[in-house]
Amino acid sequence: MSVTKAPAAPREPRPDEPPVRQGRPYESARRYARWLPVAPGTVLLLLFLIGPIGYCVYLAFTDLQLTGQANASFVGLDNFTRAFGDEDFVNAVVLTLVFTLVSSIIGQNTLGLTLAALMQRASKTVRTVTGAIVICAWVVPEIVAGFLLYTFFHRRGTLNEVLDFLHLPDQNWLFTLPILAVSFANIWRGTAFSMLVYSAALSEIPDEVTESAQIDGANAWQRLIHVTLPMIRRSIGTNLMLNTLQTLSVFGLIWAMTRGGPGNRSETLPVFMYDQAFNKALIGYGTAVALLLLVVGGLFSVVYLRLMREEV
Amino acid sequence: MTDAPAPAPTPARTSPRARLLAPRTAVTGTPRTPRLTRQRRQRLAADAGLLVMAAAFVVPLLWLVFASLDAKAKLRVSPPSSPTLDNFSAVWTDEITFTPMLNSFLICGSGTLMTMVCAALAAYPLSRYRSRYARPYLLGVLFTTCLPITAVMVPVYSLFVQINLIDTMYGTAFFLATSQLPFAIWLMKNFMDGVPVVLEEAAWTDGANWFQALVRVIVPLMGPGITVVTIYSFIMMWGNFFVPFMLLLDPEKLPASVSIYTFFGNYGVVAYGELAAFSILYSTPVLLLYILISRRLGGGFTLGGGVKG
């Protein structure tokens, strides 16, 4: 393993070096040996990530059940046709879309940008305090956040207390609008990330640009639409991407707050998948749902790669 | 939306040209110049807006603090009439606190260690050598950072049952390490690119091999970067609920993220004060670690270029 390396320049200027002259086997063996350090990580990834994904594709086409391994047989597209005819599945898809749209695309994104924009103008003390509080909500473990917001939205919880104080009608949030309650919980938990991304992006906009727009007579709103937003376009793309992927796979928060209930009114796809595989013992069917989630995540990832391409 | 409406400029004092020519920072004029009041008004508006949002965000956190000190904690936020530490002493037992916390430390600690060692080793050739396979490999790694891990958990469960890794702490640690690995490799490679090759060449000249160069020269120079990636991985594992929830069954092996759920979630949550107290105990390590890295990075944390816009 300990191949002493001649002090040659390790970085050739050309990105694609021609293959080494054949006839020096030792030379090429050394060239491969130096890539050995990549092995441990690659093995882990193959075993525990790529392997399961492949297994996921296989399982999705079988009728495997929790009860035993012997009776799994290949059923083709049955799981998928069943899913699209399954009211509960359609409900889960709709709820996942609502959850993603409300909490990630609208909530975290807009709120994060608003916070970042205000922070640029605010005084240092207020900025620090607000930042600390918002980030605290992000760093607290998922399951704790779930419990906290459960108490907040509970029928006898703080939110109704506040509504009473303002003489507004109170609601049994977790019962009547559970999907909105978990969406707001996710906004509470995830806004910090967008805030940090946008703070970094806004701080890179040179003052002169906004100044000159102001001199040309653009009001604040026009400056935002025509100057600021186009300039942080890439950050917005990246942030939306990452937030959406994060939101697609939220399980613990919803599980701690509602367990997908009451009935199935807050059962997003991950919760539905878990429920089918473990409570109804239909591993094959649950995996088919998981595969659909993976495919959606994969498509998003490809878009994300396009955004990040010049980084590699 | 976020701006105070601009007052109509008085044409004499603040024609656009005058405003352009005025140096931006020097506010030497009398405090009656419209320019200054406008800035101040903007700042006050921004402060007010931020404080309103901060108030909305702080409410659930306040409940946590108040309820943990209140022997008769309720669902709503109310300052405890006679603050006590009874809730903390009630959860200060082997079963509720020590065993789960120890499990968490074992699982997340060993997982983080694996992630970091594998990421450092893998990042070295990717950063130092050229090969036509390096770029596709990195793109693949970046691709897997985005996959929703939640979706893989059902097949992982079946797989773990078949290879007898289910309900083992090391199996869980392996999986958690893998789930953080792509991101760690990606960040490590970026940090390593920032270490000049010249220093390594000096080490080689002195007769060090690649491993010695990595351990004695590069890793110490990447100190801050490595600390950030390590702590970030640890925080992610510490807060992860779904993975141990799926892969561990024995109550003795559960980490705090799952034990808090089984212990309090299964009784329809009655002991609010104790729940709050344990939540604080369980959240403290990650909060402290976060403060440590944000200090290190000068207040902001943007994942070291991992999420560049």
A304 → closest Cβ in B46, B146, B155:
B146
| Partners of residue A62 on adjacent β-strands | A74
* Residue span of the structural domain in which A261 resides: 103-268
| Partners of residue A65 on adjacent β-strands | A68
Looking at the predicted structure, is the pLDDT value of residue A184 above 90? yes
* CA A268 – CA A235 distance, rounded (Å): 27
For range B216-240, the mean pLDDT: 88
Going by C-alpha positions, the residue among B40, B253, B244 that lies closest to residue A251 is B244
Q: Which residues of A226-260 are buried (b: 16+ CB within 10 A; e: fewer)?
A: ebbeebbeebbbbbbbbbbbbbbbbbbbbbbbbeb
pLDDT band at B79 (very low <50, low <70, confident <90, very high): confident
CB A157 within 8 A of CB A176: no
pLDDT band at B34 (very low <50, low <70, confident <90, very high): low
Going by C-alpha positions, the residue among A91, A150, A104, A147 that lies closest to residue A269 is A91
Name the percent of chain B lying above pLDDT 90: 36
pLDDT band at B35 (very low <50, low <70, confident <90, very high): low
B265·A55 Cβ contact <8 A: no
Which of B42, B50, B297 would you mutate first to test chain A, the one with the most A CBs within 10 A? B50
Whether A94 is in a domain gets the answer: no
- Nearest C-alpha of chain B: how many angstroms from A164? 12
The tally of domains found in chain A comes to 1
Q: What is the pLDDT of residues A107-118, one digit of tens each?
A: 999 999 999 999
B151·A249 Cβ contact <8 A: yes
The answer to whether residue B277 neighbours chain A at the CB level (below 8 Å) is no
Looking at residue A21, what is its pLDDT? Answer: 46
Whether A233 is in a domain gets the answer: yes
- Distances in Å between the alpha carbon of A138 and those of A135, A195, A196, A235, B52? 5, 11, 11, 19, 18
Whether A205 is in a domain gets the answer: yes
Looking at residue A76, what is its pLDDT? Answer: 79
For range B51-61, the mean pLDDT: 93
Q: What is the pLDDT of residues B280-303, one digit of tens each?
A: 999 999 999 988 887 766 444 444
Whether A296 is in a domain gets the answer: no
Identify the weakest region by mean pLDDT among A54-58, A255-259, B27-31.
Answer: B27-31
Whether A23 is in a domain gets the answer: no
Q: What is the domain partition of chain B in residue ranges?
A: 41-84, 87-297
Identify the weakest region by mean pLDDT among A191-195, B24-28, B100-104.
Answer: B24-28
Name the closest residue on chain B to residue A246, using Cα atoms: B148
Whether A29 is in a domain gets the answer: no
Q: Which residues contact A76 (CB under 8 A, 6 or more apart)?
A: A61
Name the closest residue on chain B to residue A59, using Cα atoms: B155
* Angle in degrees, 0-180, between the axes of helices B134-146 and A233-248, rounded to the nearest 10: 60
Q: Tell me the HSE value of B303 on the side-chain side, using a 13 A CA sphere.
A: 20
Interfacial B residues in 27-46 facing A (CB < 8 Å): 42-43, 45-46
Domain B87-297 has CATH 1.10.3720.10: yes
Looking at the predicted structure, is the pLDDT value of residue B270 above 60? yes
Residue A146, domain CATH: 1.10.3720.10
